[in-house]
């Protein structure tokens, strides 16, 4: 069994016809060097003016012939062109008149290039908690595990050692207890929590709490003083209606389905709405390093674009992708079974998320850093913290365990051992 506590970035809407990536550039802020990569997006729009031709003729008379000659000129610029020509020949007592016009259209193509830089301030801002001071007051946290944001960037924090979920409104350093007991007392009743490890919030402010040491997931309606069990039965086990120290949760909101990492059973479970019995969708083949196995799965992220789960394989030091319906995973980042601190390795990672461009962010807890990986790449860049350096200053982290990226690409980090939430601003 894994024992935690001792172990130890819109929404840009881009209509893109062509996307290219420029070379990396080096950015230095507050004495800490970080890498920013500029992505060039070319957007092409076309405007076309349609053409029309109108001719009219009036002839009067009798025995005399007439001839008409017309000429046409086309002008291409960045707008449109028009040509009108007329010629009239008359003789005798008969007159004839002809006017013809023709329009030739041209199209205008405008190219706009926008540079987007993936870069963040290396100095974090403390949004919640008191650095290095664990406690149960409304301004404190005690080794929090995870967090999420709602659409207004309100923070919801699984305050692990305080056995509660805290809500911090944007700009406020004082939290409100919305699940569990505000004094930090743990328990097994439905109005108590026991080491909550993850939390999600729906559009109505209702929350789902992974009540890890009670081996269950609770649905806690907005404003309610107690929750209802939606996964697990409160007793650790291996059957489909049981969980053993669950950790992470992610939703497919469009289908009202949620997925739970069942940590000590080395599997991921799927739960339909109003069903307390789950279905195995990943793992359940024993603890191991094989592509059909998981090794203490923790953080999990549902990728709707590929109908897959990104799973943090804590014990294997990697992040894997498990397409729903598949029988095995593919490697996303890390080297299976190998821990390390290079740009391609991870050390006891805890959480994973993606931005709107499917780039990957990993809370690389054992290396005290946040790693950024471009979509499809396995070579990461440190965007928060300093690799291998533990600390409590604004540029350091101490075992980060959760990460969220908002619509403006700002990064929010649960700095577990410092009992605080840090924000690293995108610029």
Number of domains in the chain: 2
Is residue 258's pLDDT more than 70? yes
The reported pLDDT for the residue numbered 115 is 82
For 282-293, how does the pLDDT look when each residue is reduced to its tens digit (9 = 90+)?
Answer: 999 999 999 999
Query: Does residue 105 lie in a domain region?
Result: no
Query: Does residue 64 lie in a domain region?
Result: no
Residue/partner pairs of 382-390 with CB below 8 Å, 24 or more apart: 382/34, 382/343, 383/9, 383/34, 383/120, 383/411, 383/424, 384/120, 384/122, 384/124, 384/411, 384/413, 384/422, 384/424, 386/32, 387/341, 388/341, 390/417
Strand 83-86: give its sheet, edge to edge.
54-60, 95-102, 83-86
**Which is more confident, 329 or 113?**
329
- The alpha-carbon radius of gyration of the chain (Å, integer) is 31
Q: Which of 64, 99, 119 is the last residue of a domain?
A: 119
The reported pLDDT for the residue numbered 292 is 98
137/115 same-domain check = no
Angstrom distance (rounded) from CA 59 to CA 100: 14
160/193 same-domain check = yes
| Position 112 confidence tier, pLDDT thresholds 50, 70, 90 | low
The reported pLDDT for the residue numbered 160 is 98
Query: Does residue 131 lie in a domain region?
Result: yes
* Sign of the Cα pseudo-torsion (282, 287, 291, 296, in order): positive
Please report, for the domain that includes residue 401, its CATH number.
2.120.10.30
154/115 same-domain check = no
375: left (phi over 0), alpha (psi -120 to 50) or beta: beta
Once rounded to an integer, what is the mean pLDDT over residues 95-122? 63
115/181 same-domain check = no
Task: Please name the residues in contact with 36: beta carbons below 8 A apart, sequence gap of 6 or more.
Answer: 24, 25, 26, 27, 117, 118, 119
Domain holding 15, by residue range, is 10-44+110-119
The reported pLDDT for the residue numbered 273 is 87
114/177 same-domain check = no
Q: Which of 77, 102, 119 is the last residue of a domain?
A: 119
The reported pLDDT for the residue numbered 10 is 36
For 48-59, how does the pLDDT look when each residue is reduced to its tens digit (9 = 90+)?
Answer: 333 444 444 433
The reported pLDDT for the residue numbered 276 is 79
Once rounded to an integer, what is the mean pLDDT over residues 157-161? 98
Once rounded to an integer, what is the mean pLDDT over residues 184-192? 98
Sort 1 into a burial class: Cβ within 10 Å, 0-12 / 13-18 / 19+: exposed
114/129 same-domain check = no
Is residue 354's pLDDT more than 50? yes
Q: Are 96 and 61 in contact (CB under 8 A)?
A: yes
Distance (Å) of CA 111 to CA 81, 200, 262: 22, 41, 50
Is residue 78's pLDDT more than 50? no
330/379 same-domain check = yes
Is residue 43's pLDDT more than 80? no
| Position 116 confidence tier, pLDDT thresholds 50, 70, 90 | confident
Of the listed ranges 87-91, 124-128, 188-192, 297-301, the one predicted with least confidence: 87-91
The reported pLDDT for the residue numbered 288 is 98
pTM of the model: 0.78
167/115 same-domain check = no
Query: Does residue 68 lie in a domain region?
Result: no
291/386 same-domain check = yes
For 397-406, how does the pLDDT look when each residue is reduced to its tens digit (9 = 90+)?
Answer: 999 999 999 9
**Which is more confident, 88 or 278?**
278
| Position 20 confidence tier, pLDDT thresholds 50, 70, 90 | very low
Query: Does residue 257 lie in a domain region?
Result: yes
Q: Are 232 and 241 in contact (CB under 8 A)?
A: yes
234/330 same-domain check = yes
| Position 89 confidence tier, pLDDT thresholds 50, 70, 90 | very low
| HSE (side-chain half, CA atoms, 13 Å) at 212 | 27
Is residue 125's pLDDT more than 60? yes
| Position 394 confidence tier, pLDDT thresholds 50, 70, 90 | very high
Of the listed ranges 2-6, 218-222, 276-280, 331-335, the one predicted with least confidence: 2-6
Q: What is the token pair recorded at 112?
A: 């706009």
Cβ atoms within 10 A of the Cβ of 128, count? 26
Once rounded to an integer, what is the mean pLDDT over residues 254-274? 96
114/169 same-domain check = no
The reported pLDDT for the residue numbered 253 is 96
Q: Are 70 and 53 in contact (CB under 8 A)?
A: no
Angstrom distance (rounded) from CA 284 to CA 333: 22
For 296-340, how does the pLDDT look when each residue is reduced to its tens digit (9 = 90+)?
Answer: 999 999 999 999 999 999 999 999 999 999 999 999 999 999 999
Is residue 343's pLDDT more than 50? yes
Is residue 191's pLDDT more than 60? yes
Query: Does residue 103 lie in a domain region?
Result: no
Rounded percentage of the chain residues whose pLDDT exceeds 70: 73
Q: Closest Cα to residue 105, out of 124, 85, 86, 78?
A: 78
Is residue 15's pLDDT more than 60? no
Once rounded to an integer, what is the mean pLDDT over residues 92-105? 43
Query: Does residue 267 lie in a domain region?
Result: yes
Q: Which of 84, 119, 154 is the last residue of a domain?
A: 119
Backbone angles phi, psi at 263, to 5 degrees: -50, -60
Query: Does residue 70 lie in a domain region?
Result: no
For 202-236, how does the pLDDT look when each residue is reduced to its tens digit (9 = 90+)?
Answer: 999 999 999 999 999 999 999 999 999 999 999 99
114/139 same-domain check = no
């Amino acid at each position: 069994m894994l024992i935690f506590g001792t172990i130890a970035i819109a929404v840009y809407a881009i209509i893109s016809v062509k996307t290219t990536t420029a070379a990396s550039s080096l950015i230095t802020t507050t004495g800490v060097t970080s890498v920013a990569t500029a992505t060039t997006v070319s957007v092409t729009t076309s405007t076309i003016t349609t053409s029309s031709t109108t001719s009219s003729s009036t002839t009067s008379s009798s025995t005399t012939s007439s001839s008409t000659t017309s000429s046409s000129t086309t002008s291409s610029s960045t707008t449109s062109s028009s040509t009108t020509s007329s010629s009239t020949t008359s003789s005798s007592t008969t007159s004839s008149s002809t006017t013809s016009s023709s329009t030739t259209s041209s199209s205008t193509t405008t190219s706009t290039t926008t540079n987007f830089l993936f870069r963040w301030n290396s100095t974090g801002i403390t949004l919640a908690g008191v650095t290095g001071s664990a406690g149960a007051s409304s301004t404190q946290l005690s080794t929090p595990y995870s967090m999420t944001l709602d659409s207004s960037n309100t923070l919801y924090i699984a305050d692990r050692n305080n056995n509660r979920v805290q809500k911090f409104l944007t700009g406020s350093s004082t939290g409100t207890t919305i699940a569990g007991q505000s004094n930090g007392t743990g328990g097994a009743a439905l109005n108590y929590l026991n080491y909550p490890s993850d939390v999600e919030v729906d559009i109505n402010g209702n929350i789902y709490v992974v009540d890890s040491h009670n081996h269950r997931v609770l649905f806690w309606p907005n404003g309610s003083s107690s929750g209802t069990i939606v996964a697990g039965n409160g007793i650790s086990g291996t059957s489909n209606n049981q969980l053993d120290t669950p950790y992470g949760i992610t939703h497919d909101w469009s289908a009202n389905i949620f997925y739970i990492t069942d940590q000590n059973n080395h599997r991921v479970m799927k739960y339909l709405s109003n069903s307390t019995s789950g279905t195995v969708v990943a793992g359940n083949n024993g603890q191991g390093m094989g592509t059909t196995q998981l090794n203490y799965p923790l953080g999990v992220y549902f990728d709707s674009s590929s109908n897959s789960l990104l799973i943090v394989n804590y014990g294997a030091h990697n992040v894997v992708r498990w397409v729903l319906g598949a029988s095995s995973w593919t490697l996303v980042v890390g080297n299976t079974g190998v821990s390390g601190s290079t740009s391609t390795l991870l050390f006891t990672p805890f959480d994973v998320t993606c931005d709107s461009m499917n780039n990957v962010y990993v809370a690389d807890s054992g290396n005290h850093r946040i790693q950024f990986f471009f979509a499809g790449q396995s070579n990461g860049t440190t965007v928060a913290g300093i690799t291998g350096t533990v600390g409590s200053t604004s540029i350091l982290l101490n075992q980060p365990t959760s990460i969220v990226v908002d619509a403006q690409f700002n990064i929010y980090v649960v700095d577990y051992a410092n009992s605080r939430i840090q924000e690293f601003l995108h610029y």
